[in-house]
Amino acid sequence: MCRLGTELWPVVVALDQRPGPTATQQMAMKPVLPPRILERLRLGREVAAEIPPTLPDHRAWVHVEPVLDPQLGQMQQREHGLESILISYGEENPLIGFRLRRREIHRRFEDSPDDWDLVGLSVDEVCIVKSEDEVAVRLTTWHADLDALTLPHHVDSPF
């Protein structure tokens, strides 16, 4: 009973009896890299994006670099202006993981990119993950917009 003014009113408590998300729905909620980004990474090519900073008056970026097993393949440089290509030595996939890096710099160092590595970096976090799914999850924890990932040279970053 609940008192409303001078009268007592019955209180009804309804428990949500609906089932939780199904396994399929949970999979749909899992972050997924866009197909164009997956293709780049599978070809051994890097991606980057600007992300929301965790510190005030800072800018932040993420950078994803595929990691290759040198026994299974390598990146081959091509003529000027063309991206490197992934050369595989056999049937096995030479990609063994991904190196992710998150960096933040104070805005006062924006005009001095040569100094970013020396004095400007407030955050420089690196991790290695083994799968594309782990890349998506980690980037999401860093608040990266997965659709904003692009070629590294399209992002004004300290990478």
Tens-place pLDDT, residues 48-76: 999 999 999 988 999 999 999 888 888 77
Q: Select from 51, 40, 28 the least CA-distant residue to 83.
A: 40
pLDDT given at position 122:
81
Q: Residue 1's pLDDT is what?
A: 45
Beta strand spans in 39-106 (E): 47-51, 58-68, 73-76, 85-88, 95-106
Q: What is the mean pLDDT of residues 114-125?
A: 70
pTM above threshold 0.85: no
Q: Using the predicted structure, report yes or no on whether residue 142 has a pLDDT greater than 90.
A: yes
pLDDT digits (tens, 9 = 90+) for 95-116: 899 999 998 888 877 776 665 5
| Least confidently predicted of 9-18, 66-75, 90-99 | 9-18
Domain positions in the chain: 33-154
Nearest to 146 by CA among 46, 51, 66: 51
